[in-house]
Structure 1
Amino acid sequence: MSKVKKAIIPAAGLGTRFLPATKTVPKEMLTIVDAPIILYVVEEAVKAGIEDIVLIAGRGKHAIEDFFDTSYELEDKLAKDGKEKLLERVTKIRDKANIISIRQKQAMGLGHAVLCGLPIIGKEPFAVLLGDEITMEANGEDSVTSQLVKSFEQTNVSTISVMKVGEKDVSKYGIAEVEEQRSGFFKVTSLIEKPKPEQTSSRWALPGRYVFDNAIMDILQNAKPTLNGEIQLTDSMKLLCQVKGLNAMTFTADRYDAGDKLGYLQANIELALKNPELNKDLKAYIQELVKRF
């Protein structure tokens, strides 16, 4: 039986304005093909055996909470709009997991958002999945969170996902400095939040999937604001390396930064190509479009 039964999904940032200026929606509620971004993330958590999912919701995020509530009005609207498959997906989540919402009263960084989940997490280990990052398993493999959970259960050491990035993208991410233990598996020696390329030789970035021993909560409770006046999760992870250890592993899943404009478009195109209802027509359109360039 899995030891990791709880997860935190920070969805605390300001909404992204992809829509007209008169309508602002949380970026986690923007649709990828036929479902909001947040549903893909919650489904990944459930597949990993998570039973209690804590949404850390900031200002203007009520739409996320409402989406997972039992609501006759929402269910009736989905049914009338012919979105029975989406309704079925949401119902399945409600049957398998408890969705709990906690308000982050101030936007004080990812570390602070994770700490907001302490009343529900208590003394247990837990996963963290960023609410605007989508990872889709490939080739029949386990999801990224499932892989991290398995690693944690085998080692009892907090484990995070990492991905290789180019020099120009180093400053966009938290970066892990590592020692390789075996192919695709590392011991983390240090972390740095959004460094300049010359500040670290590592190109192993954090794409937003973690499984933590509860010791991270003890560290976060004493954390102070640093970069941008925020409590950075990477600062506490750096200390965790020293006091309890921290592992990292690569993954083969497809990953989309759906909170970024280009990443959002890429996710829609690639997931639509995997959709049997859209694949043929979209592929034909893309092939025709390419001929124009």
Structure 2
Amino acid sequence: MTFKPIRKAVFPVAGLGTRFLPATKAMPKEMLTVVDKPLIQYAVEEALEAGCDQIIFVTGRGKGALEDHFDVSYELEATMKARGKSMALIEGIRQKPGSPVYVRQQEPLGLGHAVWCAREIVGDEPFAVLLPDELMVGEPGFLKQMVQAYEKVGGNLIGALEVAPAETDKYGIITPGKVDGALTEVLEVVEKPTKGTAKSNLMTPGRYILQPEVMKILDNPVTGAGGEIQLTDAMAQLIGKQPFHGYTFDGRRFDCGDKAGWVQANLALALEREDIGPAVRGFAQKLLA
């Protein structure tokens, strides 16, 4: 069976990033760098690798730097060309004209509301949602792995990763059904279940492939955990009506919405770099000694 391709990727990037203050007072949290690349660029590259050709940013106030990052910078490019510097890094950031679309989430009403703000652009197509705070490192990327699975089973897919049972109250948690390799049938998904009530330790790490019907559910939202409109609650209404699976990522996850996770990502990726890895490793060994 052939399913509609995943062409559109939604990036909810309207958050204020209060956990990283004061760094995020005047800079979008998505522009925090891991080594030398902003978090948002890692996520966009992941979507492009998976075959998405329309990038949809759901932004808010103070996100101009994010838009500028994916735009042409004439002054910078002219200076680099005049000095004979390689343009590869700059050209790799550019998007095709018309590819990035920016819509505003005018109130911080939750992830479900942020995704709903992209409804007119998504239209009647299945689409991906990527949370840039969650840095996924693997070959191929997480979303491409999910798209490959989607092409076999269709319906809705959400990322699934194991966490410590004591941490299940921090995430959306899957109630699993049948397991087929990396695919797990989703019987239920609950946002931040109270301690001791989670049906598994499989959490949803910010990667989703969803059918457009979720937008119709979000047209009539219900306030959920934290007093916000939760995407998890809307997805739960599709279970049993459409195929719904979790997909376990073959790779590494860094929670860059957390300061410790962000530092760990910088260290891990820096150590793997040929240009700076040896210097970072030597410094770390001396520090830890």
Common fold: TM-score over 0.5: yes
- Matched position secondary structure for 1:53: strand
CA distance, structure 2, for counterparts of residue 230 and residue 74 of structure 1: 41
Q: CA deviation at 1:46?
A: 0.3
Equivalence map 1:164-243=2 (5 Å) = 164-243=162-241
Matched-pair contact (CA < 8 Å) for 1:186–1:247: yes
Matched-pair contact (CA < 8 Å) for 1:156–1:213: no
The alignment status of 1:70 with 2:82, answered yes or no, reads no
Higher helix share: 1
Q: TM-score, normalised by structure 1?
A: 0.90
Q: CA deviation at 1:88?
A: 3.1
Q: 1:278 and 1:16, CA in 2 relative to 1: closer, same or farther beyond 3 A?
A: farther
Q: 1:222 and 1:22, CA in 2 relative to 1: closer, same or farther beyond 3 A?
A: closer
Render the CA deviation track for 1:44-97: whole Å, top value 9, x for unaligned: 0000000001001022212111211223245457778x7855313213xx1498
Q: Which amino acid aligns with 1:54?
A: I
Let me know the Cα RMSD of the aligned residues: 2.3
Query: Equivalent residue for 2:15?
Result: 13
Q: Which amino acid aligns with 2:204?
A: L
Q: 1:103 and 1:83, CA in 2 relative to 1: closer, same or farther beyond 3 A?
A: farther
CA distance, structure 2, for counterparts of residue 220 and residue 237 of structure 1: 9
Matched-pair contact (CA < 8 Å) for 1:50–1:97: no
Q: TM-score, normalised by structure 2?
A: 0.91
Q: CA deviation at 1:168?
A: 2.4
The alignment status of 1:54 with 2:52, answered yes or no, reads no
Counting matched residue pairs gives: 285
Query: Equivalent residue for 2:261?
Result: 263
- Which of these residues, 280, 283, 286, is aligned with residue 282 of structure 1? 280
Query: Equivalent residue for 1:154?
Result: 152
- Which of these residues, 88, 91, 95, is aligned with residue 88 of structure 1? 91
Q: 1:152 and 1:21, CA in 2 relative to 1: closer, same or farther beyond 3 A?
A: closer
- Unaligned runs of at least 5 residues, structure 2: none
CA distance, structure 1, for counterparts of residue 24 and residue 199 of structure 2: 44
Q: 1:29 and 1:76, CA in 2 relative to 1: closer, same or farther beyond 3 A?
A: farther
With 115-124 and 95-104 compared, the bigger mean Cα shift is at 95-104
Q: CA deviation at 1:228?
A: 2.3
- Which of these residues, 28, 31, 37, is aligned with residue 29 of structure 1? 31
Matched-pair contact (CA < 8 Å) for 2:153–2:243: no
CA distance, structure 2, for counterparts of residue 191 and residue 52 of structure 1: 28
CA distance, structure 2, for counterparts of residue 22 and residue 48 of structure 1: 29
Render the CA deviation track for 1:127-170: whole Å, top value 9, x for unaligned: 11002211111xxx321101111222211211111100002221
CA distance, structure 1, for counterparts of residue 153 and residue 176 of structure 2: 17
Identity value in percent: 41
Q: CA deviation at 1:227?
A: 2.0
CA distance, structure 2, for counterparts of residue 68 and residue 168 of structure 1: 39
Q: 1:22 and 1:13, CA in 2 relative to 1: closer, same or farther beyond 3 A?
A: closer
CA distance, structure 1, for counterparts of residue 70 and residue 249 of structure 2: 29
Render the CA deviation track for 1:90-110: whole Å, top value 9, x for unaligned: 13xx14981111110111100
